[in-house]
Structure formats: structure tokens, C-alpha cells
Structure 1
Amino acid sequence: MPLEIQGLSKTLGDFHLNDVNLIIEDSEYFIILGPSGAGKSILLETIAGIHSPDSGRIILDGVDITDLPARLRHIGMVYQDYMLFPHLDVEQNIGFGLKQLGKPSPDIRTATEDIASLLGISHLLPRRPDTLSGGEQQRVAIARALVIKPRILLLDEPLSALDAITRRKMRNELAGIPSLTGVSVIHITHHAEDLISLGHRSAVMDNGAIVQVGDPDEIFQNPRTPFVAAFTGMENLFSGIARESHEGKVITVGQVKIHAVTPYTGPVHCGIRSEDLIFSREPLKSSARNVLKATVTKIRLVGSLAWVVVDCGISLTGVLTIQSLYDLRIDEGNTVFIAFKASAVMVFPEGNEQNYGSYCYSI
């Protein structure tokens, strides 16, 4: 393992880390996902050596680097605003770190040309940063970080300043860095889609702490807390009381009874992903344990998808293709029937409450 973070804690003004433990494997693309203020940037800067931790250790390739100065850590970092030097051309920007390390000019030129070729930006070498697009500036910043041959590359919200088309293209390019270079990447973001597109493994962070670690599918399909569920896009989250019944476990939410598969009883939080709701205009004959009559209260069309909000005693949001919406002839004010499996209901025990509602995607 190239990087091990052991019990890392740090307080810096209103921001803090709280006993962070992580292991980053060789040539791994590791995503750290969390809202603004979660402590993601402090974690990256502490790994890089910009801040000294209040407690904990940072181990790189079996060597304790906790107290090493940043320049000796073999760690590269790229900030979201790129921080290119406006008075230097691209070639000089890329070679800047090697120049600071005292490398001979011929070696700097060769290394700069090699990394520019690898990233497909050789044609940009004579240009100035202010003539580059956002995506081009990002590539130059990454080349500058990689040219020093770091063991770890830290990316601080690298896609946040890019338009949607460039962001999609850059995701593909970033995903190839570990295989192209052998460098492990730690990428922090507040966009859940980055987790899906890029991460080999991921950690979700909130309030200075790691709340879940796993591969993207695990985090999306089996969130451990309502916060993780909400932050990864679960629109339907509510509280209820879980009880045993002759039909199995039933969760009562107001006047609505929902069948679920769960070991928990008593006060719980539960959630249902929008894609797990099945819509019909007629009463459904389905193996799904939950079938609820509802009224459509809101429809929003986004690209090829329709987000449909219904009232069935609780508010639920489902998603359909626009073609399915038209085929079912669903419009606001219509009566519909909603079905979902008991196994599609995720149940979390009450406790460790967080204000997860503000992280739900809204339509």
C-alpha cells in the first residue's frame, strides 16, 4: 500500500478532521466525496504537508512522512483553480517543479516533453495560460504535478470549474492516470457522479469524519447512513416506526404502511431510490409488496428523463423516461399507482441524526 492515514485529526478555524483512517492502494483512483465544509480540502492539504496534523500519522511506502516538509514527500497536488503562473508559458509551467528541485535544463525539457506527449498537450507548450480553455489549463496543471513523478497525486475538485461537456471528457482522461503513470490518485469532490465515473474505491466524508468507505456500487446500493443515502442521490427519505406483523416487517410513516426487509424495529429512517418506483395508471398486479395509490403533484423534464413527484400520503419522487411518461399518459393531477419491492426499502436505525434533507436532489 503506498499511503496509509492513521488517526489523522486537525482543527483549522471552523474546519477540522476527526480521527481519519484511510488506506490508498497502488495505482488506485480514490474518490473522497462530501459536502462543502466536510474537511476534504484540509485532509488533502495535510497529506501534502501544507498543514501539520494535531494528531495521527501519514505513512507513504512504509515511511512515516508526517513531519517531512512538503517538497520531500513525493506528493503532487492540483487545486481547482489550477494556479498556473501567468508570466510563464506552458512548457515553463510544467517544468517549474523540476527547476525548483535543481534538475538540469536538458532533463527538464525532456521530462516536460514526455509528460506533455503522454497527456496529449504537446501542441500547447509554447502558449500562455491565459490563451487556454479550462480543460487545457487543467491538463497543464496535472502535467506540472505529474512531471515530478509523485507517488500520490492529489486533486482538489478538479472538475468543478469546467462545463458539462469538458467535465465528461476530463473524467475519461483522469480515469486513465493510474494505469498510464502508476500514480495513485486521491480526488476530492462534492459531485456524486464523479464517484460513479472515476473511483476504484471511495470514501464519504462529513463533519470532518469518514462515514463510509467502499467501492462505488457498495456506497450507492448499500449506504450506511441517511446522510450517505441522501448525498448519493436518494430523493425519498423519511422517518417511521418499524413493527413486526403477520405480513413481515412493516414501517408506518404517518398513515402509510410500507413493507420492508430489515432487522430493525422501533423508530427508523428509510429511503427508496427513485428508479425503484414502478408507475401504472391501473392497479398493479405485481410481486412487489408495496402498491400505493397516489396523485401526481409535479413533473419536471430533464433531458430524456421525467422526474415525477406523487402524493400517496407521503411525498415520493420517481423517474421515468419521457417516452414512458407519454406512453402511460401521466400528467400533473392524475391518479397513478406506485409499486416497489420490500427489498428496495433501505432502513437505517434511529440515531446519529444528521440534517440529510438538505443534501437530497430536488426537482
Structure 2
Amino acid sequence: MLQIENVSLELGDFQLRSLSLHIQNPEYWVIIGPSGAGKTIFLEMIAGIYKPATGRILLERDDITHYQPKDRHIAMVYQDMMLFPHMTVRENILFSVKIRKTYNQDIETKISDLVSILGISHLMERNPATLSGGEAQRIALARALIQKPRLLLLDEPLSALDSMTRERLREEIRKIHKYLRIPIIHITHHFEDVYALAEKVAIMQDGRIIQTGRPEDVFAHPCTPYVAQICGTENIFRGEAVKDGTGSVLNLGDLRIRITAQYSGPVVAVIRSEDIIISVEPFKSSARHTLPASIIDLIPAGPFIRVVLDTGIRMIAMVTRTSSEELALTPGCQVYATFKESALHVIPTGEMGHASRNMTVLL
């Protein structure tokens, strides 16, 4: 559906560098990365606001690299909505089709469907100044979608909203995606957006795409420590791997962990906090690693508790509040930390490339 092939762009001191991305119809992609990674500029290049210096962009096999934005049939919604204050909600939604002179009776059917999905039929005669943030974002989505775009670009559309409004709008975006069956590229800082919406995820850093794939694959197997941190992994450790004939031993500070994979030399080991099971007795399971630990601290995190452990190194596990109460977890308590070998991901430092710069690793 969308093929982005080795595109590059220079804007002052900033560069997009040899970006490639292939998106099938109707995949929902979420792009994550820190501020300054180039996410918005990347979307604006797809939309035609910027022209790449190298590479090409194909939409449905049509080379649109040098098309004007109006000729690409791509819609983009920004975080700040940019509704016209002198128009009613209805006039805002219909603006693009009126300006393109494509208004017809089919548009009335489409607008009826859209406002129903978005729950905004009661707002049609309102002025944008009277709308809440969530209502305004729904209007901006309807205005973009009434154009019947081939591709929808979302630039942090939920970032300015409160948590309850974000969750409701995520559900409405899911319905819209199912209804329209077009690809969506959504950039965000919120990991909840990835979990709730993404079929594929791309990680950006310094104008590059570092890793792509299904969210569960990228989260479980980050290609660099940077990707692990961006994906919310708290347990990231530098160490040394030594082969011993049957596998390798990971020397992580005062902790030694045996794995079957063959590694040798400096490595970074990562494990997600939710993949560590806490028990007061050795946990009976097929999991390979069970480490005696003492609890350093318990940190509330919404419905969960972050359990800070000393296993020879500092580790963080995540448990529900109910589990914490049932296990009677307290600082100083002796417990066991259990995790599967597949949950421990090892990255040889030679594979890190430029993405390991400026990394803060826990050990």
C-alpha cells in the first residue's frame, strides 16, 4: 500500500536518514521515539509538506514523491486540531470537500456515518470555541476522513487529552479504522496507544528508524538498549558473556545467569518487569531462572506495584496490588524472582551501532 524507500531530508542541522517503511493495507502503524527524533517531519514528508532529497514514496504503486499535498489523497490530523473558529462544526467537517468541489449526496451519507461513530451528531451546529479538547479532536478526525483519504496520518492526536478522554477516543479510532479499512500512521509518546492500537510499531531515533515489527516482538526482542528503554523496559544491564561449551554464562555484576544461547564478550541483558514472577517460596514452573532476592522498595504505579529487588543486582518486577497484599510484600522481605529464559533478551554490544549513544544502563 505505502512504500517509503531510502528517503533522506535535511532541515538545517537535522536530518532524516535513509528511512524505509513498507505498510500493507489496512495496517495500523504507531511510530514512537523521543522529541526531536523526526517523527512529525517524517509524517509531513509523507503528506508532501517536505520533499525528500533522496529516495521515493509510492502509494498504491503510484510514485507520489513529488506530488503536491492536495494531489496525494492523504489526510493528516495534528495534536492542536486547527479548527476554523468562524465556522460551525458542520462547516469545519465539510470544508475540504467544499473547497475541492467534491460535495455530493454521498458525502451526506458518509458524514452521517462518521458523526455517529465519533459520537458528535449533537455538536454539528456548535462553534469550535465551545468544544472540549476531546470533542475538538473528534471534529478534526471527521474533517480529515470526509475526504476519503487513501492514508491517514495522526500526529500525537491524543497527547493533549486527559486519560479518560484518550481511552474513549482510542476506541473510536479503532472503530474508524475498522470502518474505513485504510492504513494509519500514528506518532505518539504514550505507550498505551501502542498497546491499544498498533498492529506494527516503528522506533525512531535521531532521524532514523531503528527497529520495526509487531509490538510484542519489538518489546520482547529490542535490537538495542535504546529501543529497550523506549519500549519501557526497566531492567537493562551491562555484563560479560562467556561461552562454556553448553551455552553461555552471563556475568552481570555480582549475578551469574546461565543461558543456552552462545554469546561471548560484552553484552547488554534486558528483561521486562512484567515478565518477572515474585513468590515467597521457590516457584514451580518450567521457567529456567529462579533467583533469591530481598525487597528494597515497593513503589505504587496505578493498579500495580513496582517491586525493587536485590538479586545480586538491582531488578524491578511488576505485580498487581492484590498480589502484593496476598504475598504480604514489604521492604526487607525475602522472596524469589522467577523468569523464563525466553524473557531474558541479550544484545551483543557489537550490534548496537549508533543507537547505543547516550544510553543510561542500570548496571
After superposition, the Cα gap between the structure-2 partners of 1:282 and 1:180, relative to the gap in structure 1 and judged at 3 Å, is closer
**Given residue 138 of structure 1, which amino acid in structure 2 is its aligned partner?**
Q
Aligned partner of 2:139 in structure 1 is: 140
Identity in percent: 47
Instruction: Tell me the secondary structure at the aligned position of residue 234 of structure 1.
Output: coil
Aligned partner of 2:8 in structure 1 is: 9
Query: Whole-Å Cα distance in 2 between the matches of residues 268 and 113 of structure 1?
Result: 56
Moved more, 135-144 or 174-183: 174-183
After superposition, the Cα gap between the structure-2 partners of 1:100 and 1:298, relative to the gap in structure 1 and judged at 3 Å, is same
Aligned partner of 2:150 in structure 1 is: 151
Give the drift of 1:177: 2.1
Deviations 1:254-311 (A, max 9, x none): 2211123433211100011112222233455665443333332211122331111012
1:333 aligns with 2:336: no
1:1-363 correspondence to structure 2 within 5 Å: 1=1, 3-103=2-102, 112-245=111-244, 248-282=247-281, 287-351=286-350, 352=353, 353-357=356-360
Deviations 1:147-174 (A, max 9, x none): 1111011000011011111111111111
Moved more, 296-305 or 277-286: 277-286
Give the drift of 1:233: 1.6
Give the drift of 1:120: 3.0
Query: Whole-Å Cα distance in 2 between the matches of residues 80 and 325 of structure 1?
Result: 38
Moved more, 142-151 or 99-108: 99-108
Contact kept, 8 Å, 2:117 with 2:175, in 1: the verdict is no
Give the drift of 1:32: 1.3
Contact kept, 8 Å, 2:295 with 2:333, in 1: the verdict is yes
RMSD (Å) for aligned C-alpha atoms = 2.2
Query: Whole-Å Cα distance in 1 between the matches of residues 139 and 166 of structure 2?
Result: 15
Give the drift of 1:53: 1.1
After superposition, the Cα gap between the structure-2 partners of 1:285 and 1:118, relative to the gap in structure 1 and judged at 3 Å, is closer
Query: Whole-Å Cα distance in 2 between the matches of residues 344 and 333 of structure 1?
Result: 26
Q: How many residues align?
A: 358
After superposition, the Cα gap between the structure-2 partners of 1:125 and 1:347, relative to the gap in structure 1 and judged at 3 Å, is same
Contact kept, 8 Å, 2:37 with 2:205, in 1: the verdict is yes
Give the drift of 1:21: 0.7
Query: Whole-Å Cα distance in 1 between the matches of residues 107 and 150 of structure 2?
Result: 19
Query: Whole-Å Cα distance in 2 between the matches of residues 181 and 107 of structure 1?
Result: 15
Query: Whole-Å Cα distance in 2 between the matches of residues 11 and 345 of structure 1?
Result: 39
Q: Report the TM-score, using the length of structure 2 for normalisation.
A: 0.91
Instruction: Tell me the secondary structure at the aligned position of residue 222 of structure 2.
Output: coil
After superposition, the Cα gap between the structure-2 partners of 1:286 and 1:78, relative to the gap in structure 1 and judged at 3 Å, is closer
Query: Whole-Å Cα distance in 1 between the matches of residues 249 and 149 of structure 2?
Result: 53
**Given residue 186 of structure 1, which amino acid in structure 2 is its aligned partner?**
I
Moved more, 273-282 or 224-233: 273-282
Query: Whole-Å Cα distance in 1 between the matches of residues 113 and 323 of structure 2?
Result: 51
Instruction: Tell me the secondary structure at the aligned position of residue 51 of structure 1.
Output: coil
Instruction: Tell me the secondary structure at the aligned position of residue 66 of structure 1.
Output: coil
After superposition, the Cα gap between the structure-2 partners of 1:208 and 1:23, relative to the gap in structure 1 and judged at 3 Å, is same
Contact kept, 8 Å, 1:154 with 1:187, in 2: the verdict is yes
Contact kept, 8 Å, 2:33 with 2:189, in 1: the verdict is yes
Deviations 1:26-81 (A, max 9, x none): 22211112221111101000011111111111111211111111111101000011
In the alignment, structure 1 segments of 5+ residues that lack a partner are none
Query: Whole-Å Cα distance in 1 between the matches of residues 323 and 42 of structure 2?
Result: 45
Give the drift of 1:13: 3.0
**Given residue 144 of structure 1, which amino acid in structure 2 is its aligned partner?**
R
After superposition, the Cα gap between the structure-2 partners of 1:284 and 1:184, relative to the gap in structure 1 and judged at 3 Å, is closer
Give the drift of 1:223: 2.1
Contact kept, 8 Å, 2:16 with 2:207, in 1: the verdict is yes
In the alignment, structure 2 segments of 5+ residues that lack a partner are none
**Given residue 216 of structure 2, which amino acid in structure 1 is its aligned partner?**
D
Give the drift of 1:345: 1.1
After superposition, the Cα gap between the structure-2 partners of 1:349 and 1:106, relative to the gap in structure 1 and judged at 3 Å, is same
